[in-house]
Structure formats: structure tokens, C-alpha cells
Structure 1
């Protein structure tokens, strides 16, 4: 009985100790405020545009002409072929048109006839004028009539002479001559062929390749720039390892509505005739712009279907500023808009960052 009491006492004491044993600690509440992410910004700075751009170009002859037969006839003789060098005024072919000689003969006969009539009427007028010096011999109306006849016949002589000159000038078209010094690049006719028909191919093509025109289509964004020293350097795939140079000669002054580009033309000296018209060139142009420009990282420019803009931050409040884009540098874009040097812009802009949003900003490290 005494042992049972001892066991019960031990169990009672153990239960009391278990009730007073400290339990697990409850987690402490985190009273710290949620962390706000900062937006990276940068300070806008101006810089001069000085960039070398690569553009494709095409070499064209300085002068090019297609020679047609101005009158109908048969090719009597040809003096040149493709590759033949020619001088200005040199005869390259002769045409034959027998009916032209008949027209010349008719015109000469007509001129001789009216000239004889004019000589006769002039002689009559002189005799009447001499006789009219005696009173009552020649009526004044007869003298006036003879005078008018002389004037009429003189007009016919002038008309016949003009007709003969026109026929002879047309006959000169039977001799085809080179309009300038150059080289024959095409020949599409042989001796004996009939020429002068409508819509026929040109008989010859002649090009002046002593100097060439390098024509480059410059994108609209670059048309407001200038070329450093007005020079271009280019290479030709057909002539590897050799660099050529040309000088800016002219600009078209208008944009092609399809390509949104302006044609710039450079003059290339080609006295050694190593370059050929029709070759394509890989061109490098160093372009510059008067005054300063703003260049920003590509990520700062937000492009939508309606516009392009950057996000400006002033007093930690955002605003959208519309911009136009100019020439792209290696890692930056040239922009234009209502901006000033020293403005703060968001480095990585996006449409979700609306205007009038308050930000915690962080200056980007250069």
C-alpha cells in the first residue's frame, strides 16, 4: 500500500512539472516595410555626330547615249564595233536612202525656178521704174503691181531655200557620228539592215567611262548630315584588296517616296579604265552633323505603333517626351525632341511606366 502511494505521488509531481514546461516560441511579426525597387536613370548629354557608315553604291558612266537612225534607210557601212574607242564627231556608220537624193534634186530645181522668176520680176520692175520717170508713160498702179510681184517672188525664193536646207540637213542624218569621246559598248545592227522604224533597238550605245558616277541611296535619317572632306572610300568585289576614292559632286535634292532615300553622286577618276560601269561598290562615308546631338542607349527609346518617346524624370515624377530618331551609333541612338542637356531619362523605358508616376531613381554607373 505504501508503494502505490509513492507511485501516485511521482506521477502527480511529473504532471505538475509538465504543465509548467515552457512551450515553443511563436514567430515574431516582421514590422519592416516592403522594399521598393529603384528605377535606373541616366543624365542626358550632348555629343557631336561623327560616324563612318557603310552603304551600297553603283557605278554609272559619266555619259551614255543610244544612237538611233533619225531617217529611214539601209545601213551602208559600219566603222566601229563593241569596245571601239571613238572621238567626238567621228563617223561610226553611214546609211543609204536613194529617195533622199531625189528630194534634194527636187528642192534644188524648185529653188532655181522661183529664183529665175524673181530675177525676171525684178528686171521688169526696174524697167518700169526707169520708164516712170517720164510723165504719163507708166501708170502708178502698174509700177506698184510690179513692185509687189518682186516682193512675192523674193518670198518664194526664201521659202525654197529653207526647204532645200531642211532636206540637206535631213540627208546629213544618214551619216551617224559619235556625240562625245568614249567607247562603243553595244552594236545591234549589221550592214544592209533597214533602220529608222518605230520602236526599234538603238543601233549603237556609247559610254564615256573616263570618269564614273558613284551613285549612293542615302537613308532619310542621314540626309541632314554632311560628308567629311566630301570624300567616299569604296571597294569592288571584282577587284579585291584595292580601295578607291571619290569626291561628292551633287545631291538629288529630293527623296524617293518608295525607298525614303536621297541619291548622292560622287565623281570617280577612271583614266586607267580599271572600273566598269555597272559595278556595285561597298562604300564607306564619314558623316558629320553641324552642332551637337543627343545620343541615348537603345533601351531608353520606347517605340509604339503611334510614336517614339523617352521617359523623362523630374522631381521623381515621370513624363513622356516624343522624339524623332536620327543616325544610330554602335550602341546608341541619336534622338531629337524637346530635351535639354542634363535632363534625367529612364535607362530602360517601357509603355507600362506611365506619365506622372512617382519613382525612386538610381543613377546608372558609366
Structure 2
């Protein structure tokens, strides 16, 4: 081998060693990115950049939404209280009426006659009262006369008693004279005469006592007549009251034949025209003659779902949007609640008063949408609706929370959703970083680089 070929071989070997050493040094002292890639670890180019936000407290009011039905604030079906022919009717469907306005009259001639007949009965009863008062006066006069007889009888007793005493003394004197000595100084017939006079005087006294007893009995009888007469007066006065009550009843029945409006509103129903026969409810009638609805104030009926019932209170703010009436929503408040749920629908009857309806365009039966703002909890957390990655049954869902540079899929309990924010009653803390717009390639445990949510640009007006 020539010398120049030897040197050529040596140069080739040296070049090979040099290239191998350089390759080795390059592999052993490569960049961290190259080493991380060779060991399977994520690099800066593998991390996903995400926008994050924090849950907010009290940022989302709890609302209850659903359809609502408009009703007149008051509605009355007007019926006649007396049967007869419809004499006049001054209104028709759609007419505006005011409180107390006469709407119709029913012809009731029989009732008019009843009123006159009962008034005559009142006059007769009052005359009977006067007659009974006269009986009382007469009975009291009888009492006075009987008492006078008592006085006269008492005087007669005094007189006859004195006479009987006197006649008794005369008889004893005559008897003593006749019995004195063997030869009486007076005739025995004279003694007998004085004895007869004494007996007659005693009998007269006994008669006077009997007369007094009779007079006392007459006083008692007269007193009883007074009481009877006074009772007759009370009975007669009661008859007057009964007769007057019958008059008032007949007058009320006549008034029932006049139909008036109970409040300001509009006629929404008419049953018949003048000349038709009106049958009162007491005679088996069931159809109303007219229907009037109050329209200066309306009410909206809303059936609240079971889940919102515990948070609803009278006075809660409400917004009503009526489909048939364009324009801004109507602001109102919850006026009353049933405080009880329907067992079939599991809803609670809620009413919202619309205080003003000046144009009358809000009508009975209109359909609308109701939003009731319920109690707003200051501790309830909420996040933007775009944070939610999945929503399952029974209010369960999940969001990505950034912890230690990784996206952690975290289960949460989901509450109400207003389309912008969603309530999270359980599963998050206020300082958690929540991925705002998770993409499809974001998985549990993925390395992420978090950046705060960009502030909203002010809207131009």
C-alpha cells in the first residue's frame, strides 16, 4: 500500500470518530424541551391556554318564570231576584258602565200589589195596637173602681161593727133588767126584740166583710185584665213589626227587579233582549241576565312550580309581558298566594295585580309571560353558563377547575339558569378558578395556562 492511501484511511477513521462524538455530545447535552419530549412530559407547546373566572356571590337572583293568564279583578254575574218579563235593558256587550248604574228592569206587577197589601196590613196592625191600648186604659179604670169598692166595703165593716157592738150592749142591759128580782120590771118580749136587733147587726157586719172580700177579688180581676190588655198591646206591636217586615221584603223583591252595576267596568255577556221572560233563581232560573267585569284594575294568575314555592312572598317583584300588547314589560308585585299547592299539578296559585288599565286594552283571558323575582341569597355562588361542561339528572353537572396548572373536572350541583349565569349551590368555593369556555380537547388532568377573564367592553349607546 502506498503512503498516500494509508493517510487516506487514517483521515476517514478520524472523521468518523469526530462525527460520532459530536452526535453523542448533542444527545447528552440537549435542551430541556428535547429531554422532556423524549421522556413523554408536556412542554410549553403542549399546554392549553384557558380563560378563567371566579364564582360570584349574590350575582344571580332566583326567579320563577312561566305563563300567566289575565283575569278581570272582579266579575259579577247579575241575575234578577224576581221573575217577570224584561221591561228595559239599557246596555249591551262591550258597553262601559259605572257603579250603581241601572242596567235593566224586570216588570213585576204582582210584587207591586204585594207591597200595597202588606202596607195595608201594617195599618191594620197599628190600629189593633191602638185598640189594645184602649183596653189597657179600660182595665186600669176597672181596677180603680174595684179599689173604690174595697174602700166602701171597709167603711161598711166599720159601721156595721159599731152597730153590732151597740146592739149587743142593749141586749145585755135588757137581759139584766129582766133577770133582776122575782118580779121582772120589763116584759120578756122587749128582751127578745133587743136580741133580734143584736143578731141583725152582727149579720150586717158579716155581710160587710163578705162585700170587702168580693171587692178585693174584683181588684185582682181588674189587675189581671190590665196585664192581659198590656200583653195584647205587645202582641199587636209584634204584628206591626211582622207586617212591616213583609213590606220590606216585598220592596226588596221589587228592588231585585232592578239590575244595577256593582262597580265600574264593561258588559261582557247579555242573555236576552227586552220582552223575554226572566226566571229568578228562587224559581229555578240559573242563567245570568248580564255579566259585568271590572277592568280598571286587572289580575294575572300564575301557577308557581313546587321548587320555587318556598321562596315566594307577597310583595316580590314581578314582571308581566302580555303577548298581545307590544311595548315594555309591566312592573308589578305579588299580591297574594294560595299558601297551598295543587296535589295534581304540584303548583301554587299566585296572583299579581295590575293596578292600572286606563285604556282598557288589557282584557280578560289574555296570555302572557310572568317572571317573579324571589329571595336573592347573598351566599349563593354562580358562574357564567358557558362554564358548564355537562348537565345530568337531578341538578348535577360539572365544570373544569384549574388547580396546580391542571384542569380538574369537578362535579357540582346546578341550580337555576337565567341564560347568562347558572347557580351552583354546592361543589365550588369562591376562590376557585373556573374555565370559562372549555373546548372539546380539554380533558381532566390536562396541563393548562390560566389567564383571567377579559373585562367586558363598555356598550355604546
TM-score by length of 1: 0.68
1:90 to 72, 97, 101: 101
Does the alignment pair 1:327 with 2:416?
Answer: yes
Query: Displacement of 1:298 after TM fit?
Result: 5.4
Does the alignment pair 1:217 with 2:303?
Answer: yes
The superposition leaves residues 57-115 of structure 1 with CA deviations (integer Å, 9 ceiling, x where unpaired) of 22222221111112211111111112222221111111012221232233223222222
Query: Displacement of 1:53 after TM fit?
Result: 6.8
Does the alignment pair 1:162 with 2:245?
Answer: yes
| 2-structure distance, mates of 1:338, 1:49 | 17
The superposition leaves residues 165-189 of structure 1 with CA deviations (integer Å, 9 ceiling, x where unpaired) of 1121111101111111122122111
| 2-structure distance, mates of 1:328, 1:124 | 91
Asked if the contact 2:89–2:274 (Cα under 8 Å) also holds between the matched residues in 1, the reply is yes
Q: Between 255-264 and 154-163, report the one with greater CA deviation.
A: 255-264
Comparing both structures, which one devotes a greater share of its residues to helix? 2
Query: Displacement of 1:205 after TM fit?
Result: 1.1
Q: Between 326-335 and 169-178, report the one with greater CA deviation.
A: 326-335
SS in structure 1 at match of 2:144: coil
Aligned pair count? Answer: 316
Asked if the contact 1:74–1:194 (Cα under 8 Å) also holds between the matched residues in 2, the reply is yes
Query: Displacement of 1:267 after TM fit?
Result: 1.5
State the superposition RMSD in angstroms. Answer: 4.5
2:66 to 46, 52, 55: 55
| 2-structure distance, mates of 1:108, 1:344 | 91
Asked if the contact 2:333–2:353 (Cα under 8 Å) also holds between the matched residues in 1, the reply is yes
Does the alignment pair 1:173 with 2:262?
Answer: no
Which protein has the larger Cα radius of gyration, Structure 1 or Structure 2? 2
2:130 corresponds to which residue? Answer: 119
Alpha-carbon distance change, 334 to 264 in structure 1, aligned in 2, over 3 angstroms: farther
Asked if the contact 2:303–2:349 (Cα under 8 Å) also holds between the matched residues in 1, the reply is yes
Alpha-carbon distance change, 298 to 153 in structure 1, aligned in 2, over 3 angstroms: farther
Comparing both structures, which one devotes a greater share of its residues to strand? 1
| 2-structure distance, mates of 1:267, 1:58 | 12
Which runs of 5 or more residues in structure 1 are unaligned?
Answer: 1-31, 34-41, 314-320, 346-358
Counterparts of residues 1-366 of structure 1 (less than 5 Å): 46-50=57-61, 55-134=66-145, 135=147, 136=215, 138=219, 139=221, 140-197=223-280, 198=284, 200-223=286-309, 224=311, 230-237=317-324, 239-240=325-326, 242-254=327-339, 255-257=341-343, 258-284=345-371, 289-295=376-382, 302-303=392-393, 326-330=415-419, 333-334=422-423, 336=425
TM-score by length of 2: 0.56
